[in-house]
Amino acid sequence: MGSPLRLQVVPDAATGVVEAAWAAVVDEFEATEQALSRFRATSEVHRLRLAGGRSTAPSRRLVAALAAADRARRVTEGRFEVRVLQDLERLGSMPLAIPAGMSEPGNRPDPAAPILRGTGRRGAIEVPVAVDFGGIGKGLALRWAARRAARVLDGRPFLIEAGGDLVGGGRPGPHGWRIGVENPRATTDAGERPAVVVELRPSGGAIATSSLRRARWLSPDGQAVHHLIDPRTGEPGGDGLLAVTVAGPDPAWAEVWSKSLFLEGRRAIADLARARGLAAWWVTEDGAVEMTPGARLMTLWVAAED
C-alpha cells in the first residue's frame, strides 16, 4: 500500500508473542493488498477490472471492501466514492497498463447506483465501474490487522501504524496513546515538529489523515493535481486545505471521513465536521491548524499555539 508498517507493544509482552502478532499484522496487510491494490497486476481488484467487472468467485475481503465502500458512499451522501479510478488515470495516475481497446463505462458513475451488484459472498458479483480503494483499503487492513493482533496479544496494549494512519488498543500507561500528526508543510520526513499532538481514548481508537504532502504530480496537460478526487466533479478537491485528520473508533471510517471532509474545502469543512460530531483537525494552505470541539478535547499541543 506504499506505506511503512509498524507495530508497537507494551514492554512486558514476551518476544514470541510480539513476533506472532507482527506476523499476523503483516499477513493481514499482504492479503488485503493482494485483494484490493490497483498497483498490483496480480491483485483481485485489477483482475476484476480486466474481466469486465465480473467475478464468479470473489474473495471475502473483496466483497467486504466493496460493501464497506458502498455504505460509506451512502452515509457521506456521495462525498466518498471509490469509483474514481478513471478520473485518476485521466489525470495521469496509471501504475498499471490497461489493454488497448478495453471498453469501460464513462467517468461519471451514477451516484445513486450501488457499487456492487450480485449475490454476495457465495455468488457471482458485478462491479460495473472500476474502483480505487485507496485510503479505505488501508483503513480496512488496519481494522482487520488490529483484530488479529488483539487476539494474539490477549489484552496487551498495542499500536499499529501504516503510513501515518493508526489504530490502537488498550492503554499503554497512565495515559492513552499519544500521537503526533504530521505537518503537511514539512520539507523532510525527520526532525520536523508535528502539526498537532493528540491522545487517543484510554480504550484505544484510530486516526487517519488525508494529505497533499506526497501524492501530487503534473497531469498530461501540465496542471498540478493530486489523488483526492471529488466524485462530484471528477477533479482534485479540497480547495484551501493541505491535510485533514479524523479520530474515531474505527480506522476505515476515520479514512472515509478524513477524505470526505477534505473534499469540502476550507469554507465548508467546519460545518460538516461539527454536524457529524467528528473529532477532526485540518491544516489550511496558510498553515493554520483548526479543529472541532471534539478534537480539542483530545488535543495536547498545537504548533500554531505553541
Q: Which long-range contacts (CB under 8 A, 24 or more apart) does 53-60 make?
A: 53/126, 53/127, 53/128, 53/129, 53/130, 54/124, 54/125, 54/126, 54/127, 55/124, 55/125, 56/124, 57/124, 58/118, 58/121, 58/124, 58/125, 59/35, 60/121
Pairing mode, if any, of strands 158-162 and 5-9?
antiparallel
Q: How far apart are CA 184 and CA 195, in angstroms?
A: 8
Pairing mode, if any, of strands 54-55 and 289-291?
unpaired
Q: Which domains does the chain have, with CATH numbers?
A: 157-305 (3.10.520.10)
* pLDDT tens digits in sequence order for the chain, 306 residues long: 778 999 999 887 788 999 999 999 999 999 999 999 999 999 999 999 999 999 999 999 999 999 999 999 999 999 999 999 999 999 999 888 777 767 665 556 788 899 998 765 568 999 999 999 999 999 999 999 999 999 999 989 999 999 889 999 988 888 889 999 999 988 776 667 899 999 998 777 999 999 998 889 999 999 999 999 999 999 999 999 999 999 999 999 999 999 999 999 999 999 999 999 999 999 999 999 999 999 999 999 998 554
Contact 284, 291 (CB under 8 A): no
For residue 67, the SS3 value is helix
Contact 152, 82 (CB under 8 A): no
